[in-house]
Chains A and B, each alone.
Chain A
Amino acid sequence: MNHSYATFLLEDQLFGVRVDHVQEVLENVRLTQVPLAPPSVSGLLNLRGQIVVALDMRVQFGRPPRPPGAPCVHVVVRLDGEAVSLLFDRVADVVDVADGDQEPVPPTLPEAVKVLAPTVVTQPHAVLLLLDLDRAATVN
């Protein structure tokens, strides 16, 4: 069985999210800071009247936070009926992945990666990490 994955880049690493989980992708969004929130919370955005939390995937994956004003894309996913925005650097292609091509991430990868993206797909030119959306969208 094949599934389509939308892929996004954090620096030069590819991450994949099942296409049917992606509600929309936004750019140039005004964010409202949340004082005293954990560092992974970039802010809140107004999505047609609905308040959506934006999470910085750089922080989620244990990297330094994105500097304010740096270009980014909001990948809005729907989880348990609630929209959450995951912040990546850039949008990449949509790819088809066969279930049989998925394998667990190598144990040598950082803990954050193993938890948030437990499966990996090897492609000719890159390695695609598949997100566990529920964990990736959990504020720590």
Chain B
Amino acid sequence: MSEMDEVIKDFLIESLENLDRLDREFVELERAPGRQDLLASIFRAIHTVKGTCGFFGFSKLERLTHAGESLLSRLRDGQRTMTPACAEALLAMVDGVRAMLASVESRGDDGDQEYPALIEVLGRLTSGEEVSLRGTTPAAPLALVSPPSVVAPPDAPAPTTPSAPAPAPELLLAQAARAEEAPAAGAETRTQADATVRVDVSVLDHLMVLVGELVLARNQALQATKGGADGLENAYQRIDHVTASLQEAVMRTRMLPLGNLFNRYPRVVRDLAAQCAKQVRLEIAGADTGLDRTLLEAIKDPLTHIVRNAIDHGFETPAARVAAGKPAEGRLLLRAFHEGGRVTIEIADDGGGIDVVKVRRRAVERGLLTEAAAARLSDREALDIIFMPGFSTADNVTNLSGRGVGMDVVRTNIAALGGTVDIESTRGRGTRLQLRVPLTLAIVPALIVRSAGERFAIPQVSVQEIIRLTDAGPALEMVQGVPVYRLREHLLPILRLDAEFGLSNTSDADKCIVVLLVGRQPFGLLLDGVADHMDIVVKPIGKRLPLQGFFSGATVLGDGSVSLILDVAGLAQRAQMRARGQDESVVQGGVVRAAATERIILLRGRDDSRLMVPLAEVTRIEEIARDRVERESDGQVVQYRGRIMPLVTLDARAFDSSEFDADASPLSVLVHSGPRGDVGVVVAQVLDVVDAELTERRPANRPGVRFSAIVRDRVTQMLDLREVVRDRIPNFYDAPAEQEVAA
């Protein structure tokens, strides 16, 4: 790299940093137009960019920054007042400068875009006119905070930059008015830029490798001290001390204040709120909380998604807020703090909160849960539904969110970092999300476990508890060839690590279960034993070895041997995929189950066999006198609530013997509803309605049955009501044609 490239690189780094800060300062300035310190700081930043790009010969970039600088100098000297139009144009200028800098970085020049329209608008603003970049005149009330506006010609130049759309005028008015009441808001001093040293990441990475080595040396020394030599023990203590300090010091150099990330949000919030016609004030706290730069980068997307969601769905419209007795302007809090060796990032809004009733309904509509399962969830559990794949409560898919991808991805991404996402929401009061992530990913506390003579590392963040299987305690149980364990009244699914990995395990050592939690579903990993706890240095395995989602890396143990680190999320997915495979027959039947238990109707079948149907699929259970059954050309019907209800017998499929003419007792009928009306399913006998755990299922081998499961110690067949009904009435589930409805 030539010396010139080096200088340009420095210029880019510095300019981009300045621009990020500018976004925030502009938004602050819009609220408090009189803040001289902000104006001066913005002016300096733009002035620096302009001066440097002139030096490099980036003439287009220079022209644009020059136009912006002229307007800024007027503003700074008090010869012009900050107005929304100014802010709009200046923000568009920042976007333009950013695009040009990106071009400088990728192709070495300042690009083809010249932004003539933007430069013209900036010029006219500088000379005191009031023109909006969008070609629309700010509404009259703005006169409160701006000099009398000059009406812009209707054919005012269209924006040439991807500028932010103009916010609703009343929004800005309210903001400006409020900002005048409290001009000091957001006036924290910004010394971070002065106090930090810029270090090349590769240098830091190297330091990190060295520290890793030191940690390993410490582990090796520890191994040797177990032999019992005194000198070694002292040496070990020294290494231990140095390692710990060095590790922490180096970690600190890798840390960046979360403010670096938070700085982008004032602009994001401002633009999004304007798009949604909402009023939102962003408050930031704990911006100096440090976080490893890799993690900072990794939480960027999830955090942005949550902020978008909050503005799009969380906050009510200003009118609705006032009607609910809240201030028209919503408050979004972004807060970070250290807690228990981890960083917590909190995103709290004072919006409408999440409607758990709606969440439940939506989950049922989307086929994520059965009605019965949704009804059984506590409100807290129902909130967790928003993390399920394919869920969205937005009534309309908007520009911003509601496409049904989102919170599940947020949770998955955070879990992949060894973090968690929690949500709390109070209807009418607001929603609070908490992301908890580790401080660093490079050195993590881990459990070293043994299986089939091999050792593996498991990051401790995923470990809930360790259970030793003893002869005295409860043992593993096999259900349909699949191991499970009773853990405090719940069945814990078990993965055998040796079997998963195809290792032949000859060891009859003490077995133990490590209970792991990823997302909501805990699962147990059956192993030979736990060998050790230690801080491990996570090392990459290299690009050449595909890891297939079982390992997240490798580490070196105290004896110098390599040990693979298990990817807990990947294993969990494997366990879940297996469970899903078993449920396939049910999914095809049109019901997706998520909860462990289901309320079912138990029926007596032919030859005293047992049948069941989900209660959720049955509208009512009726007894109907046999003499009410009438004949139509294609089968039996009955008059039911003023309509003609066709009857279907299970007998037709020889599931039971419920012939119409058998005896005089009334018929047991399950009323089942479809879009065209009801159908009565005649059954021999209703035995009971029970809650059953249908976890062990055997796929069915005859039509009309979904699967078999054990209910009350009896093998019971789950009927496919749809199949049975379609047999008699093929179009029962089709949407009614229009003329049929009219008739």
A32 touches B539 (CB 8 A): no
Does the CB pair B545–A34 fall under 8 Å? Answer: yes
Query: Is the CB–CB distance between A46 and B548 below 8 Å?
Result: no
Residue from the list B213, B503, B545, B550 in contact with A139, Cβ < 8 A: B545
Q: Is B611 an interface residue (CB 8 A)?
A: no
Interface positions, chain A 3-60, Cβ under 8 Å from B, are 30-38, 41, 43-46, 49-53
| Contact status of A32 and B216, CB under 8 A, knowing A51-B556, A82-B542 | no
Q: Across the two chains, which residue of chain A brings its CB closest to B542?
A: A82
**Nearest residue in A to B545 (C-beta to C-beta)?**
A53
A137 within 8 A of B: yes
B539 touches A50 (CB 8 A): yes
Q: With contacts A35-B502, A36-B502, A49-B216 known, is A84 near B564, CB below 8 A? A: no
- CB neighbours of A49 from chain B (8 A): 209, 212-213, 216, 539, 556
Known: A30-B561, A32-B562, A36-B501. A46 touches B556 (CB 8 A): yes
The reply to whether A51 and B562 form a contact with Cβ atoms under 8 Å apart is yes
Given contacts A32-B564, A46-B560, A46-B561, contact A51 B541 (CB under 8 A): yes
Is residue B563 within 8 Å, beta carbon to beta carbon, of the partner chain? yes
A82–B562 touching, CB < 8 Å: no
A122 at interface by CB-CB < 8 Å: no
Are A44 and B564 touching (Cβ within 8 A)? yes
Quick check: B502 and A44 within 8 Å, CB to CB? Answer: no
Query: In the assembled complex, which residues on chain B have CB atoms less than 8 Å from the CB atom of A30?
Result: 560-561
Contacting pair A84 B554 (CB below 8 A): no
Interface string of A100-111 (1 = CB under 8 A from B): 000000000000
Instruction: Give the docked Cα–Cα distance between A83 and B539 (Å).
Output: 13
Are A139's CB and B501's CB within 8 A? no
Mask: chain A, 48-90; 1 = CB below 8 Å from B; 0 = not: 0111110000000000000000000000000010111000000
Q: How far is the CB of B200 from chain A (nearest CB, A)?
A: 17
Sorting the interface of chain B by its residue count into under 10, 10 to 19, 20 to 34 or 35 or more gives: 20 to 34
CB <8 Å contact, B554 and A44: yes
Expressed in whole angstroms, the Cα–Cα distance for A51 and B563 within the complex equals 10
User: Who on chain B is nearest to A52 by CB?
Assistant: B542
Report if A34-B542 is in contact (Cβ < 8 Å); known contacts: A46-B556, A49-B212, A51-B554: no
Distance in angstroms from A116 CB to nearest chain B CB is: 14
Interchain CA distance A36-B499 in the complex, whole Å: 11
B544→A84 contact, CB < 8 A: yes
List A contacts of B502 (CB < 8 A): 35-36
Inter-chain contact B561/A51, CB cutoff 8 Å = no
Instruction: Report how many A-B pairs have Cβ atoms within 8 Å.
Output: 68
B501, A35: Cβ atoms closer than 8 Å: yes
Residue of B nearest to A53 (CB): B545
Interface: B162 (CB within 8 A): no
Q: Mark B497-523, 1 if CB is under 8 A from A, else 0.
A: 000111100000000000000000000
Is B643 engaged at the interface, CB distance under 8 Å to the other chain? no
The distance from the CB of A30 to the nearest CB of chain B, in whole angstroms, is 6
- State A53–B562 Cα separation when bound (angstroms): 11
Q: What interface size band does chain A fall in?
A: 20 to 34
Q: Which of B213, B503, B543 has the most CB of A within 10 A?
A: B543
Q: In the complex, how many angstroms separate the beta carbon of B206 from the nearest chain A beta carbon?
A: 13
Whether B454 lies near A139 (C-beta < 8 A) is no
In the complex, what distance in Å separates the CA atom of A31 from the CA atom of B554? 13
How far, in angstroms, from A33 to B502 measured CA to CA in the complex? 12
- Taking CB atoms and an 8 Å cut-off, the chain B residues in 560-574 that contact chain A are 560-564
B545 lies within 8 A of A32 (CB) = no
Q: Which residue of B lies closest to A30 (CB)?
A: B561
CA distance A139 to B542 in the complex (A): 11
Task: Report Cα–Cα, A37/B541, bound state, in Å.
Answer: 13
Cα separation A52 to B554 with both chains bound (whole Å): 10
Taking a contact as CB atoms under 8 Å apart, the answer to whether A33 and B454 are in contact is yes
What residues of A have a CB within 8 angstroms of the CB of B561 in the complex?
30, 32, 46
Report A-chain residues with C-beta under 8 Å of the C-beta of B213. 49
List chain B residues, Cβ under 8 A from A80. Answer: 543
Chain B residues whose CB sits within 8 angstroms of the CB of A41 once the complex forms: 545
Closest to B553 in A: A51
Instruction: Report Cα–Cα, A118/B37, bound state, in Å.
Output: 69
- Which of B454, B540, B543, B548 is within 8 Å of A36, CB to CB? B548
Contacts of B551 in A (CB 8 A): 34
Residue in chain B with minimal CB distance to A35: B501
Residue of A nearest to B555 (CB): A51
Assess A46 versus B544: contact at CB under 8 Å? Given A35-B502, A35-B550, A36-B501.
no
Q: Most chain-B Cβ atoms within 10 A of its Cβ — which of A31, A33, A49?
A: A49
From residue B245, how far is it (CB to closest CB) to chain A in Å? Answer: 20
Assess whether B540 is in contact with A51, with CB atoms less than 8 Å apart: yes
- Whether the pair B562, A46 counts as a contact (CB closer than 8 A) is yes
Contacting pair A139 B544 (CB below 8 A): yes
Closest chain A residue, CB of each to CB of B453? A33
CB nearest neighbor in A for B549: A36
Residue B546 at the chain A interface, CB threshold 8 Å: yes
Closest CB in chain A relative to B550 CB, distance in Å: 6
Query: Which chain B residues in 114-135 approach chain A with CB under 8 Å?
Result: none
| Residue of A34, A43, A83, A137 with most partner-chain B CB within 10 A | A34
Taking a contact as CB atoms under 8 Å apart, the answer to whether B454 and A82 are in contact is: no
Residues in A with CB closer than 8 Å to B546 are 38, 139
Give the residues from 187 to 220 in chain B that come closer than 8 angstroms, CB to CB, to chain A: 209, 212-213, 216
Q: How far is the CA of A75 from the CA of B213 in the complex (A)?
A: 24
Q: Give B561 Cβ to nearest chain A Cβ, in Å.
A: 6
B55 CB, min distance to chain A CBs, angstroms: 35
In chain B, what residue has the closest Cβ to A48?
A: B213
Complex Cα–Cα for A35 and B501 (A): 5
Q: How far is the CB of A79 from chain B (nearest CB, A)?
A: 8
A21 to B564, CA, bound (A): 28
Report whether B542 and A32 are in contact in the complex, using a CB–CB cutoff of 8 Å. no
Smallest CB gap from B454: residue in A: A33
Since A34-B564, A84-B544 are in contact, a sample of 20 more A-B pairs with Cβ atoms closer than 8 Å, ordered by chain A residue number, is A32-B561, A32-B564, A34-B545, A35-B500, A36-B502, A37-B545, A38-B546, A44-B554, A49-B209, A49-B213, A49-B216, A49-B556, A51-B540, A51-B541, A51-B556, A51-B562, A53-B542, A82-B543, A83-B542, A139-B544
A-B contacts, 13 listed (Cβ < 8 Å): A30-B561, A32-B454, A32-B564, A36-B550, A49-B209, A49-B556, A51-B540, A51-B562, A52-B542, A53-B545, A82-B543, A83-B542, A84-B544
A-B pairs with the 5 shortest C-beta distances? A35-B501, A32-B562, A44-B562, A51-B554, A53-B545
